[in-house]
Amino acid sequence: MFEKIVDKDKKLTTITVSWKADFDELMIVLKNFLNDNKTEHLLLDFRNSSLNGITHDHIIDLCKYATYRDNGESRVNGKTALVGSSDLQSGIGRMLKTYSEMKNSDINVSVFRSMEKALSWLEEG
């Protein structure tokens, strides 16, 4: 299950993932955001989810979709903050960030362990 909150004033969509996530569910969350996007910035909160079933190949597929140029078109200069409290969640977030950088994505991605730091980064000019 996930919860989506859109704050148009902050140009921010927050998606909180709170289930034992599998790859298909993560792709649905990402596609829903990209297809119905109204904001520049995205905060993905994985603190209350289990990503134990996600494989390296799944992460690569997720990265390819997330960084595909046409999918980020409406988010040029946008930011994506990934928040995870476990080592696994943070590690997956760092993999997504690294892949995004390798693909020279227009979206700036960063990984955090706290919501406060993620929100502060997203609000920076």
Kindly give the confidence (pLDDT) of every residue in the chain, 125 residues in length, as a single tens digit, with 9 standing for 90 and above. 778 888 988 889 898 887 776 677 777 877 777 777 668 888 989 888 777 777 778 877 877 776 664 555 566 678 889 999 888 888 888 888 888 888 787 778 899 999 999 999 998 86
In angstroms and rounded to an integer, the radius of gyration of the C-alpha atoms of the chain is 13
C-alpha pair distances (Å), 53 with each of 57, 83, 85, 95: 11, 18, 17, 16
What integer pLDDT is reported at residue 112 of this predicted model? 94
Domain positions in the chain: 2-123
All residues at 6 or more sequence positions from 104 whose CB lies less than 8 Å from its CB, including other chains: none
What integer pLDDT is reported at residue 68 of this predicted model? 61
Which CATH topology does 2-123 take?
Transcription Regulator spoIIAA (3.30.750)
Separation of alpha carbons 66 and 75, rounded Å:
11
